[in-house]
Chains A and B, each alone.
Chain A
Amino acid sequence: MSYIIQGDTGDWEVVIGLEVHAQIVSNSKLFSGASTEFGGESNDHVSLVDAAMPGMLPVLNEHCVEQAVRTGLGLKAHINLYSVFERKNYFYADLPQGYQISQFAHPIVGAGTVILDMPDGSTRPIGIERLHMEQDAGKSMHDQDPKRSFIDLNRSGVALMEIVSDPDMRSPEEAGIYVRKLRSIVRYLGTCDGNMEQGSMRADVNVSVRKVGETDLRTRCEIKNVNSVRFVMQAIEVEAQRQVEIWESGGEVHQETRLFDPAKSETRAMRSKEFAHDYRYFPDPDLLPVKLSAEYVDAIAATLPELPDEKKNRFMTDYSLSAYDAGVLVVDQDTAAYFEDVVRSPEKGKTRDAKLAANWVISNLFGALNALGKSVTDSPVSSQQLGQLLDLMADDTISGRIAKDVFEIMIETSRDPADIVEEKGLTQITDTGAIEAAVDDVIANSPEQVQEFKDGNERIAGWFVGQVMKATQGKANPGMVNQLLKEKLKS
């Protein structure tokens, strides 16, 4: 499964590290009382602090600190009880203070791990180097006026977490899985909504290549602000290819910041500056160091939900699900809850068939929801109803085949399965006499097929089953049909 780029001079591997910027879920900004709400009129969600008016001062939002700690705990990371906000100095039109308040030498969260769930069911740990809090910048718009760019500061000062991975990923696929997993974790934690379309999550992708077998890293390039999982993967692919071509043609890759252009499927260097950046970080004297107590961290840890990895393990242990099924079900907290609701029988101490439940959720429900463009939270079929459907199968009221038809009606109408079965008269025929009559009828009317069977074509047994089911409008119990056919054909 390793990702190798075959060059003229040999095989190359790609080395990837990601810096993911995740907007912290909060009502107000990191250092001001202005709203973080997406959209709005230009410069409406802006306070005098966000506009960096003379004499305005930042005051730290306690909820953002808690969210960062919560995320750190979710990443199984070390929480630094002492962290420091620093000023990252540079001039840009949408950076009103002339510096970004960020954490540098002393981030709030240190080393941690994210476990990737690979499609083959295996797992792969990716190191987290750090997580720090920082302010988002405003937005520049360049198309409104021939001579001017317009500046909107609504996003200026919104709290971000920058989550920096180690350069542990080796393929575009891994990077994609990493971003999805990170998104799953922060969504579980409620610390970031993970909405990449609205920019709540975006990634800077560090890419370098090296010959297979090399241990040192070669020069990397940073692809800025990639805003979808698909683009992350594409950007890595084309950037790695570009670098391999440079090295192989005797050139050298220069460390630089690049942009990914999805339309052209290429990366290109950002307009080079006259001088390199020199951010002149130093501790922000307007903000005192953030000092947390171990008790504070413990209290947050105590409120952490069960996270995807633990849930997956539990699903595998408790419900004997495959790693793949468990992994798919836990990506999203609502899906996992839905699944568990389906498994949970209203009868005390009883559970439904978990594997069957998983199959129905993953194949039937997901399929239907995808087609409708709905999510599990607004599913027309409630978990209770799906559970009832499983019950109808379990007690042989309906067959699996009929269940699929009933499910389709449930998706359309949101009605209870029992009502549908009753109204449409879909109750399975389990009366031996009735089934026997139908079987006899089919056998009597199909002498040629009977002969074929007797000549050794056992596969034709299936055809008989189909005929019997047809004759009973699919309501005959398939097990009993099989049983009777077997007996009667062989006799």
Chain B
Amino acid sequence: MGNNLTNLTIAEARDGLTGGDFSAVELAEVHNKAVADARDLNAFVTETPDVALSAAKASDARRAAGDVRGPMDGVPVAIKDLFCTEGIQSTAGSHILEGFVPEYESTVSQNLKDAGAVMVGKSNMDEFAMGSATVSSYYGNTINPWKAATGENAGKDLVPGGSSGGSASAVAARLCLGATGTDTGGSIRQPASFTGIVGMKPTYGRCSRWGIVAFASSLDQAGPMTRTVRDAAIMLGAMAGHDLRDSTSAPVETPDFESSLGQGVKGLRVGIPKEYTADGMPQEITDLWAKGAEWLKAAGAEIIDVSLPHTKYALPTYYIVAPAEASANLARYDGVRFGLRVDGESLDDMYMNTRGEGFGEEVQRRVLIGTYVLSAGYYDAYYVKAQKVRTRIAGDFNAAFEDVDVMLAPTAPSPAFAIGEKMDDPVAMYLNDVFTVPASLAGLPAMSVPAGLSADGLPLGLQLIARPFDELTLFRAGEALEQAAGFDLPIFSGGED
């Protein structure tokens, strides 16, 4: 029974709960157990089985009283540890926030709570969401449940991607039915691709950033990570909504995303941006991309070649803008009001000791880069220049969306790699995000859908990008891709005896 329950999709769980096939408490219990049994993945910084159980009990009680709050009511989810959760430690993967117990609940996690979702734990992540492998967490790296069958990494522990690697591994390993992620430059989509799940970054402004530890404010966006496109649509519906406490939250209605499903893609114009290639990208990814285009064409879509000429400049632009914003966003971690304090002789000593010990290497590197590019004499050459290029990149998309409704591209230039790889060269690690960053810079909704396996048997995702606030089209195309790909997420051993 337990095995069956962890294999459910959110849509199936909804139907099962509605039909009385099982209770929310049963769902919570099997997932609590799955979480506990899969500790070797290190997908969670904090497990919250008691919170899950009491939320599930409340859900069952509501249901018994005829008060069901929607499709997420009673559904076990993981919450990335970047979301502040009231009364529950929220670390952002950092030593500097160890023991920090917020007095408040982020808007998105509150929305999920209000929708009846059941939190099983706070998922692991790269420190302050800076990373593409979940290897920079102070709480240890997360392991991808997938193993390569062949090739140089056969049998090795692989990274789940990042920064939302804990959420990705948890969803892939069936420790929860869905998870929240945040995506600044690809932190939802790239780990989704690495773990064979659906990862969706909504339009900037769709989900409130209030209560989410900020990395790069102009880019950060929360989104769902699930095992199906339908689940992503359901879960996003519960997360999204205008929030007066976030000035960048868009005052738009949240549509019924699930309603876009089942329509097919007949007549949909799908753009293939020719610039989405990278040096050394395996042929199998190029091939999968072509296959994806064929699938959509076969389903009735029109395939159109488009050009996004500034694509290659997106990543360096991102690595100026995001660190610059981060250098200011992380200034509040100063040992005065919360989190770690390492004492010092003077105020400056205390600051430097606290931040020197509290921040890991990658975070320090990015804060230093961000400080440098904003400093006197360099601001125009780096920061202003990057923001101008960003305008160009957004302009590319605007122009291309004159001719197409959605774009198809690879999510990442490689499948999951082994833990320890790409650690010596920051730029090599940054290149993971080469295909995800452009949509982030333009604030566009984008989604990774598992589409196939590499030669070594590792999952590969394809990315869809749509116009601002046109998530409906994104889900519609995503569903077509999902159906055509027929991707099968294995049931990993270890989660169940």
- A residues sitting closer than 8 Å to B (CB atoms) are 48, 51-60, 87, 89, 91-93, 96-99, 149, 151, 278, 280-282, 284-288
Contacts and interface: CB of A to CB of B under 8 A. Distances in A.
Q: Which 4 A-B pairs have the closest CB atoms?
A: A98-B331, A280-B374, A285-B218, A285-B217
Contacts of B348: 91
Contacts of B100: 54
Contacts of A97: 328, 331-332
Interface in B186-221: 209-214, 216-218
Contacts of A55: 83-84, 102, 106, 209-214
Contacts of B111: none
A55 B246 CA distance: 10
Interface in B321-339: 324-325, 327-328, 330-334, 336-338
B424 interface: no
A54 B213 contact: yes
Contacts of A53: 84, 102-104, 337-338
Contact of A48 (B103, B325, B333): B103
Contacts of A57: 209-210, 245-247
Contacts of B244: 59
A338 to B, nearest CB: 44
A287 B218 CA distance: 9
Contacts of A96: 332, 336-337
Contacts of A286: 214, 217, 247-248
A60 B248 CA distance: 11
B306 to A, nearest CB: 28
A287 B214 CA distance: 14
Contacts of B383: 282
B381 interface: no
B455 interface: no
Nearest to B84: A55
B135 to A, nearest CB: 22
Interface string B348-364: 10010000000000000
B375 A280 contact: yes
A280 B247 CA distance: 23
B65 interface: no
Contacts of B210: 55-57
Contacts of B327: 89, 280
Given A282-B379, A288-B248, A54 B328 contact: no
A89 B374 contact: yes
A93 B337 CA distance: 10
B371 interface: yes
A91 to B, nearest CB: 6
B351 to A, nearest CB: 6
B247 A52 contact: no
Nearest to A51: B337
A30 to B, nearest CB: 12
B324 A282 contact: yes
A278 B244 CA distance: 33
B347 A59 contact: no
Contacts of A89: 327-328, 331, 374
A151 B335 CA distance: 13
Contacts of A93: 336, 347
Contact of B247 (A54, A58, A91): A58
A98 B247 contact: no
23 contacts: A48-B104, A53-B103, A54-B92, A54-B97, A54-B100, A54-B213, A55-B209, A56-B210, A57-B209, A59-B246, A59-B247, A60-B247, A93-B347, A96-B332, A98-B328, A98-B330, A99-B331, A280-B374, A280-B376, A282-B324, A284-B217, A285-B216, A287-B247
Given A53-B102, A55-B211, A91 B332 contact: no
Contacts of B333: 54
Interface string B97-120: 100101110100000000000000
B23 interface: no
A351 B268 CA distance: 81
B358 to A, nearest CB: 13
Contacts of A48: 103-104
B90 interface: yes
Q: Quick one: which of A55, A93, A99, A149 has the most chain B CB within 10 A?
A: A55
A99 B376 CA distance: 16
Given A56-B210, A89-B331, A285-B325, 8 more contacts: A51-B337, A53-B337, A55-B83, A55-B102, A91-B348, A280-B379, A285-B217, A287-B247
B83 to A, nearest CB: 8
A278 B331 contact: no
A92 to B, nearest CB: 8
Nearest to B332: A52
Given A57-B247, A58-B247, A280 B371 contact: yes
B41 to A, nearest CB: 26
A149 B104 CA distance: 28
Given A87-B328, A93-B347, A54 B376 contact: no
Nearest to A86: B328
Contacts of A92: 347
A284 B104 CA distance: 23
B282 to A, nearest CB: 36
Contacts of B106: 55
Contacts of A56: 210-211
Q: Quick one: which of B213, B336, B348 has the most chain A CB within 10 A?
A: B336
Interface in B449-474: none
B363 to A, nearest CB: 14
A87 B328 CA distance: 8
Interface string B242-260: 0011111000000000000
Nearest to B370: A280
A83 to B, nearest CB: 14
Nearest to A286: B217
A285 B347 CA distance: 28
Interface in B141-184: none
B422 to A, nearest CB: 28
A58 B102 CA distance: 18
B374 A91 contact: no
Contacts of A91: 331, 334, 348, 351
Contacts of A151: 336
A275 to B, nearest CB: 11
